[in-house]
């Protein structure tokens, strides 16, 4: 197999360490950085202590087949272009019959399979609302938490490090290492796995297929990140893949899913194909995911409450989407100014001071060396400041932008997810008419209402998950941003203080 | 008399206090500012310790007739427009015969009188070089100093404060106070005088007329300062008048001149008119000023050295003129950015943070008040920073610009001043031919050469004066600029540190 991605993951105790880069956000790209490689969005979310499932659930997926760096030496980059052509689905379609679209759309064409929500159409929700089949697959309990309904959170959270294989190898491109480890079993389980991009893409499609109706599954990072230099482009692509993996690891439902565990436990081609075949035959996809959701000890909600909650989430996610996009626009403009005209101006100021110093030096008047030296130093200081200004966005604005960009991606999933819920609500509203026209029974109407309540609990649990992550992420990124901004301005002040001290006091 | 300007001046010991506003450069405009009213360019220049004349020379001109604020209540502003029409010269021409243009151009028309150098034409220098008249007026000795020939510097330097009469009076416009004081005679001599703008203009013309060939006499501040708001315009106009007065006070030849002392000792209209009449009859103007210059114990210079010095000063002043203009251009652009797009961008960032905070507040999720409060505070901090950025140029760049602007004015005088010297050098070069054609005697040729040497000593003394002032001024303004810049960045860092502290550490 060519062009494997390797990544590490580990179980982090829910109230344990926070893996942050602290002072050097770019340390993630430097395998020699002391303090271990970690990432910025990989720490535990605030208020997710409601762990219910055992950590043992994670052990089944531990990777066995680590292929060290250098085992593969093709360019990762090549993989970014062939996904849509053949690499991605061709394999499973040819080999396993293209069983992508299930859960009510059995036998549908490949065209439908490539829809955003392959598991349902506009008339989808009734597939679940009126389903007579027993629930298949792992049950997904929802509990009553302090702030509202919550998913079952594991005692340990997965943490994943996407590693750059360039350092210390002859390979160009990206490698991703995965290590699964429970701190207690660190010695035996901390093994990396390799994955090609098409595997990530396959995972994404599976997750979208299975959970997309209930959980926003953000797109994989763009293949092309525009407006960057080559080196930065590669860094950013890896960073975004890291962000995506971390977010998936953080999600209690996604991270504990069989398909995600399969991905993390990649051993060899044979095992992988077997796992794939099984995952692609999963029938609990699309709206059918709600059939596995089990509100534990929670009363059925009436439709008005269901609708109110849905409306509230809709309003919020739309408003946040606007706010995030606004911040991204402003941030982009600020980035341009900070890397363009502003440092150019500081540079010109610096040059003007230095030029004046040369002129003064040519005066023929003795004894002004103190002034001319100080003026030259001041000029050089402004040239230094120019460089600092130009480099600063990478140190702070970048992370603020990346976090907002990730949220833009997440928020972009909500209209479809909420659309499923809205459609379900509409169906339940029609229930009386359906009973009257004899299309459903009164019993079925009660079931529909109950299932709408279950869907609402799922949505509420997801929103609580979203909120806790959002609070954590924004708190963290704002802290990081401001911390770096403080350092930036302090460093400028310090440089100028030094420049000032070189002038004589008269 | 209407619309008097008042100003204070005082003798400052050459190694005594430095009258600087320190932290609040705009304190000059606030008569209530503690620590006394002073100005930014009024302190003693570096290396001007070669005082020779007695401080008693200054006492003759102490003002006697202080007219307190409110004694006059016309608008100063009116005066700025009538100078060219009638106010300025009409008075002296009508009353005293318009005796402006003398020293070789007796009886020339008013048109010539308004020339930049009313005292000489292209063929001017020979008026002095070949003059047979004995020198008239105060002799101006030039001594051999450490760095070269120097003017005779007084033990005490004049200091002048142009005061804003608006505060505490009903008057609108400007008033200028002059107080002449020897610290030892502070009780009796510290009296202000009032002057109208046309008096300043008259003084300027007298100084240009008398000293313009030897000393750069910068123009009075422009009547119109464009691109400013009304209040700032008035402040700037007064500040520039202050700068002009201070520079005149600082000059050993100008400040000790009879006409300048007359201006400082204004008593009443009768005395003033008498003094004016005398000043306007002064015949030692134009190139004839060199006849009063007496190099003390300095050997005659040969023409090659005279020419080399002249060329050196020419090169330097031109180069500095370029450097200063360059800095002004860059400073202007920086000013625009700092007061325009940059604060606007910080404001937008601030608003975006606050907007996101409002959105978060509407989430319905309990317990994120810490984040939303901190986010709002961060947003407000960036709005504060926007304001700080916009207001900063007034606190630092302004003074850097004003100093450079003043030097632009000074440097603009040099081409003409140096032109007089170049013309004299050319005349001396022609001396052999003139002797051969019998136009001058050998004795006259020797006199010409000797006088060119005297002119060179005057120019050298003036250049040394220029250099010492330049070194002092740029050292001072750079210190001030950097000090304010340090404070600015420290204040931003402090504000951001506070904003950072409001986020919870997780």
Say what the ipTM of the complex is. Answer: 0.78
Highest mean pLDDT: which range of A425-439, B238-252, B321-335? B321-335
Asked if pLDDT for residue B20 goes beyond 70, the answer is no
From the list B246, B235, B241, the residue with the least C-alpha distance to B398 is B235
Highest mean pLDDT: which range of B95-109, B208-222, B401-415? B401-415
Put simply, the answer to whether B475 touches A366 (Cβ < 8 Å) is no
How far off is chain A from B245, nearest CA to CA, in Å? 22
The span from the CA of B188 to the CA of B192, in Å, is 11
- What pLDDT does B205 receive? 95
Question: Once rounded to an integer, what is the mean pLDDT over residues B489-506?
Answer: 93
Highest mean pLDDT: which range of A163-172, B229-238, B295-304? B295-304
The span from the CA of B335 to the CA of B236, in Å, is 16
- What pLDDT does B157 receive? 72
Is B196 annotated in a binding site? The answer is yes
The span from the CA of B491 to the CA of A343, in Å, is 21
Put simply, the answer to whether A323 touches B364 (Cβ < 8 Å) is no
- What pLDDT does A271 receive? 87
| Residue numbers in B near A348 (CB within 8 A) | 330
The span from the CA of B485 to the CA of B492, in Å, is 11
Alpha helices in B151-257 (DSSP H): 186-189, 197-211, 230-250, 252-255
- What pLDDT does A29 receive? 30
Question: Once rounded to an integer, what is the mean pLDDT over residues A382-396?
Answer: 97
The span from the CA of B204 to the CA of B118, in Å, is 13
Stronger pLDDT, B122 or A26, i.e. the higher one: B122
Which DSSP category does B300 fall into? P
Residue of chain B whose Cα is closest to the Cα of A352:
B327
Averaged pLDDT of chain B: 75
Residue A52's pLDDT band, with cuts at 50, 70 and 90, is very low
Which DSSP category does B152 fall into? P
- What pLDDT does A228 receive? 52
Q: How far is CA A355 from CA A351, B326, B396, in A?
A: 6, 9, 20
Asked if pLDDT for residue B356 goes beyond 80, the answer is yes
Q: What are phi and psi of B369, to 5 degrees?
A: -60, -35
Q: How many CB pairs under 8 A join A and B?
A: 178
Put simply, the answer to whether B47 touches A367 (Cβ < 8 Å) is yes
Asked if pLDDT for residue B174 goes beyond 70, the answer is no
- What pLDDT does B294 receive? 96
Residue the block writes with tokens 């000293």: B211
Residue of chain A whose Cα is closest to the Cα of B367:
A147
Beta-bridge partners for B160? B9
Stronger pLDDT, A392 or A246, i.e. the higher one: A392
Residue of chain B whose Cα is closest to the Cα of A313:
B363
- What pLDDT does B478 receive? 98
Exposed e or buried b per residue across B309-340, where buried means at least 16 C-beta atoms within 10 angstroms of its C-beta = bbeebbebbebbbebbebbbebbeebbebbbe
Put simply, the answer to whether A352 touches B46 (Cβ < 8 Å) is no
Name which of A194-208, A232-246, A366-380, B97-111 the model is least confident about. B97-111
Put simply, the answer to whether B375 touches A474 (Cβ < 8 Å) is yes
Q: How far is CA A505 from CA B157, B477, B485, B486, in A?
A: 20, 11, 17, 16
Residue A229's pLDDT band, with cuts at 50, 70 and 90, is low
Residue B99's pLDDT band, with cuts at 50, 70 and 90, is very low
| Residue of A355, A474, A480, A501 to mutate when probing chain B, most B C-beta within 10 A | A474
The span from the CA of B180 to the CA of B7, in Å, is 9
Put simply, the answer to whether B337 touches A334 (Cβ < 8 Å) is no
Considering CB atoms only, which of A364, A375, A475 is closest to B312?
Answer: A364
Kindly tell me the sign of the dihedral angle through the C-alpha atoms of A447, A450, A455, A461: negative
From the list B348, B246, B270, the residue with the least C-alpha distance to B40 is B246
Residue A103's pLDDT band, with cuts at 50, 70 and 90, is very low
How far off is chain B from A303, nearest CA to CA, in Å? 19
Residue of chain B whose Cα is closest to the Cα of A354:
B323
- Supply B136's token pair: 């008239």
- What pLDDT does A155 receive? 77
- What pLDDT does B161 receive? 77
| Residue numbers in B near A324 (CB within 8 A) | 356
Name which of B95-99, B141-145, B181-185, B492-496 the model is least confident about. B95-99
Name which of A71-75, A296-300, A331-335 the model is least confident about. A71-75
- What pLDDT does B6 receive? 47
Averaged pLDDT of chain A: 75
Put simply, the answer to whether A363 touches B467 (Cβ < 8 Å) is yes
Question: Once rounded to an integer, what is the mean pLDDT over residues A116-142?
Answer: 74
pLDDT tens-place string over residues A54-87? 332 222 222 222 223 333 333 344 433 333 333 3
Put simply, the answer to whether A503 touches B475 (Cβ < 8 Å) is yes
| Residue numbers in A near B333 (CB within 8 A) | 345
Stronger pLDDT, B476 or B138, i.e. the higher one: B476
Question: Once rounded to an integer, what is the mean pLDDT over residues B468-491?
Answer: 97
pLDDT tens-place string over residues A91-102? 333 333 333 333
From the list B425, B469, B124, the residue with the least C-alpha distance to B302 is B425
| Residue numbers in B near A359 (CB within 8 A) | 316, 319-320, 322-323
| Residue of B317, B356, B357, B466 to mutate when probing chain A, most A C-beta within 10 A | B356
Q: Are A193 and A265 in contact (CB under 8 A)?
A: yes
Question: Once rounded to an integer, what is the mean pLDDT over residues B60-81?
Answer: 32
Question: Once rounded to an integer, what is the mean pLDDT over residues A188-196?
Answer: 62
| Residue of A312, A326, A351, A352 to mutate when probing chain B, most B C-beta within 10 A | A352
| SS3 at position A340 | coil
Question: Once rounded to an integer, what is the mean pLDDT over residues A337-348?
Answer: 96
- What pLDDT does A321 receive? 98
The span from the CA of A47 to the CA of A472, in Å, is 9
Put simply, the answer to whether A18 touches B504 (Cβ < 8 Å) is no
Q: Are A22 and A213 in contact (CB under 8 A)?
A: no
Parse chain A into domains and list their residue ranges.
6-301+311-332+396-490
Exposed e or buried b per residue across A186-209, where buried means at least 16 C-beta atoms within 10 angstroms of its C-beta = eeebbbbbbbbbbbbbbbbbbbbb
Asked if pLDDT for residue B86 goes beyond 70, the answer is no
Is A395 annotated in a binding site? The answer is no
Return the percentage of chain A with pLDDT > 70, whole number: 68
Put simply, the answer to whether A476 touches B337 (Cβ < 8 Å) is no
Domain at B1-121+141-280: CATH architecture: 2-Layer Sandwich (3.30)
CATH tag, B311-344+387-506: 1.20.1270.60
How far off is chain B from A414, nearest CA to CA, in Å? 14
């Amino acid at each position: 197999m060519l062009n494997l991605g390797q990544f590490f993951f580990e179980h982090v105790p829910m109230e344990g360490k926070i893996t942050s880069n602290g002072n050097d956000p770019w340390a993630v790209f430097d395998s020699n950085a002391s303090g271990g490689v970690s990432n910025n969005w990989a720490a535990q979310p605030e208020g997710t202590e409601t762990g219910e499932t055992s950590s043992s659930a994670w052990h089944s997926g531990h990777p066995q087949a680590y292929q060290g760096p250098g085992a593969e030496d093709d360019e990762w980059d090549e993989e970014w272009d062939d996904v849509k052509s053949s690499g991605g689905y061709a394999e499973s379609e040819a080999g396993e019959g293209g069983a992508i679209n299930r859960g009510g759309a059995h036998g549908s064409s490949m065209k439908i399979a490539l829809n955003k929500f392959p598991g349902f159409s506009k008339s989808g929700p009734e597939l679940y609302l009126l389903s007579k089949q027993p629930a298949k697959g792992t049950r997904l309990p929802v509990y009553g938490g302090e702030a509202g309904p919550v998913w079952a959170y594991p005692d340990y959270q997965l943490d994943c490090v996407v590693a750059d294989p360039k350092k210390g190898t002859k390979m160009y491109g990206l490698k991703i290492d995965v290590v699964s480890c429970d701190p207690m079993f660190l010695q035996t389980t901390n093994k990396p796995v390799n994955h090609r991009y098409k595997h990530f893409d396959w995972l994404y499609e599976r997750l979208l297929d299975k959970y997309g109706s209930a959980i926003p599954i953000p797109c994989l990072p763009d293949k092309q990140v525009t407006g960057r230099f080559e080196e930065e482009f590669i860094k950013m692509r890896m960073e975004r893949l890291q962000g995506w993996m971390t977010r998936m690891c953080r999600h209690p439902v996604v991270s504990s899913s069989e398909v995600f565990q399969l991905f993390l436990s990649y051993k060899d081609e044979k095992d992988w194909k077997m796992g794939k075949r099984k995952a692609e035959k999963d029938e609990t996809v699309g709206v059918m995911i709600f059939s596995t959701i089990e509100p534990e000890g929670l009363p059925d909600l009436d439709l008005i409450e269901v609708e109110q909650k849905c409306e509230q989430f809709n309003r919020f996610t739309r408003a946040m989407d606007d706010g995030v996009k606004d911040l991204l626009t402003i941030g982009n403009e600020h980035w341009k100014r900070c890397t363009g005209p502003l440092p150019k101006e500081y540079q010109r100021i610096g040059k003007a001071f230095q030029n004046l110093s040369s002129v003064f030096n040519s005066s023929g008047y003795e004894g002004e060396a103190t002034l001319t030296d100080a003026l030259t130093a001041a000029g050089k200081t402004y040239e230094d400041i120019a460089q600092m200004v130009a480099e600063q966005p990478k140190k702070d604005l970048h992370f603020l932008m990346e976090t907002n960009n990730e949220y833009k991606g997440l928020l972009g999933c909500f209209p479809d997810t909420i659309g499923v819920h809205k459609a379900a609500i509409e169906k339940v509203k029609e229930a009386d008419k359906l009973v009257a026209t004899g299309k459903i029974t009164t019993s079925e109407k009660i079931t529909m209402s109950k299932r709408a309540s279950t869907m609402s609990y799922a949505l509420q649990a997801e929103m609580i998950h979203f909120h806790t992550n959002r609070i954590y992420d924004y708190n963290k990124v704002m802290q990081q941003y401001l911390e770096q901004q403080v350092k930036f301005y302090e460093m400028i002040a310090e440089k100028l203080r030094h420049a000032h001290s070189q002038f004589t006091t008269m």
